[in-house]
């Protein structure tokens, strides 16, 4: 009899433990960041906004290095909200669809496909597009008379190019397709971590890099962005993506997250990235200061 009482007590305690942990899990919202300053700032903006407006436990999954990793985590149910997703990247890489050059059509397409295929809601844009952009130093631009990408055709075969690791191998809008569209190949291509590209260009270890239009180091390093005159790259309009599951379980979330629509333009994003990359301010602090400056967009709910 005593053993049965002990067993019943153990089962009851175990059941309480499981129920408590499940309740804690239901009370948690997971948000992703990334390896770039931009993705970490945007991730922290979402975390700070949800912490301000809800009583949920918000967990920040930082350093998810690619859209593929975020997508896989969302499909497994390990991630509720991906804070930085870009139309061009997911259109080609995740959805395996042809490139759509019109920004509005590209956004509408990923919104529809993500809803139909995955039951994920792709929110309207933060307000900016982070374009892949070929860049050179001012000295290189002056030396070769470079203002647009096609100007590189005469010189590419003796110039070294640096790119991020995923773009070099990517289908559709990656290096191989670029060489065909612009009819040029570089002397050598060095795929590397994004943050290293700008330093390598600044000290002349690279001649050309493929960087991001919103990167703060464009201004601080006085780099020249070359016009994509063949319009090779699709638009990379930036939005956040949330699972329908988390939105249904937390009906207030859609309204809260929608407060971020069209609140960040290219110049603002570049400025915040510069604060992180050049001034070494923590992304979490930059995010908090951004929301405080806008009073957490509380006027939108009045």
**254: in domain:** yes
CATH number at residue 259: 3.40.190.10
**Domain boundaries, position 27:** 2-129+236-301
Q: What contacts 56, CB < 8 A, 6 or more positions away?
A: 27, 28, 29, 50, 250
Domain assignment of residue 35, yes or no: yes
User: pTM of the entire structure?
Assistant: 0.81
Tokens linked to 225: 């962005």
User: Is residue 230, in this structure, part of any structural domain at all?
Assistant: no
Q: Is residue 162 part of a domain?
A: yes
Do the domain assignments include residue 231? no
- Annotate 172-210 with b (16+ C-beta within 10 A) or e (fewer): ebbbeebeeebebebeebbbeebeebbebbbeeebbbbb
From 225, 244, 272, the end of a domain falls on 225
Residues 140, 216 within the same domain: yes
- How many domains are contained in the chain? 2
pLDDT string in tens for the chain (302-residue length): 444 443 444 444 334 333 334 344 568 999 998 888 999 999 999 999 999 999 999 999 987 878 999 999 999 999 999 999 999 999 988 999 998 999 999 999 999 999 999 999 999 999 999 999 999 999 999 999 999 999 999 999 999 999 988 889 888 889 999 999 999 999 999 999 888 999 999 999 999 999 999 999 998 899 999 999 999 999 999 999 999 999 999 999 999 999 999 999 999 999 999 999 889 999 999 999 999 999 999 865 44
162 with 83, same domain: the answer is no
């Amino acid at each position: 009899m005593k053993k049965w009482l002990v067993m019943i007590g153990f089962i009851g305690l175990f059941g309480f433990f499981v129920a408590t942990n499940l309740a804690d899990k239901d009370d948690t919202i997971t948000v992703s960041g990334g390896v770039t300053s931009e993705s970490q700032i945007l991730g922290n903006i979402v975390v700070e906004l949800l912490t301000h407006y809800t009583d949920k436990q918000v967990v920040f999954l930082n350093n998810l290095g690619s859209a593929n990793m975020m997508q896989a985590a969302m499909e497994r149910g390990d991630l509720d909200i991906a804070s930085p997703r870009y139309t061009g990247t997911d259109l080609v890489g995740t959805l395996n669809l042809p490139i759509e050059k019109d920004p509005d059509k590209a956004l509408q397409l990923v919104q529809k496909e993500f809803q139909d295929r995955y039951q994920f809601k792709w929110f309207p844009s933060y307000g900016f597009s982070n374009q892949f952009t070929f860049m050179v130093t001012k000295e290189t631009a002056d030396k070769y008379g470079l203002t647009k990408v096609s100007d590189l055709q005469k010189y590419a075969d003796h110039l070294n190019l640096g790119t991020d690791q995923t773009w070099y191998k990517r289908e559709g809008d990656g290096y191989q397709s670029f060489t065909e569209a612009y009819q040029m190949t570089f002397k050598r291509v060095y795929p590397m971590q994004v943050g290293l590209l700008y330093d390598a260009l600044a000290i002349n270890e690279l001649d050309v890099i493929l960087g991001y239009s919103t990167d703060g180091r464009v201004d601080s390093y006085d780099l020249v962005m070359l016009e994509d005159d063949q319009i090779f790259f699709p638009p990379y309009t930036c939005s956040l993506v949330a699972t329908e599951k988390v939105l249904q379980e937390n009906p207030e979330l859609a309204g809260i997250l929608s407060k971020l629509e069209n609140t960040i333009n290219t110049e603002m994003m570049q400025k915040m990235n510069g604060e992180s990359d050049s001034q070494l301010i923590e992304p979490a602090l930059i995010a908090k200061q951004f929301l405080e400056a806008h009073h957490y967009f509380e006027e939108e709910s009045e």
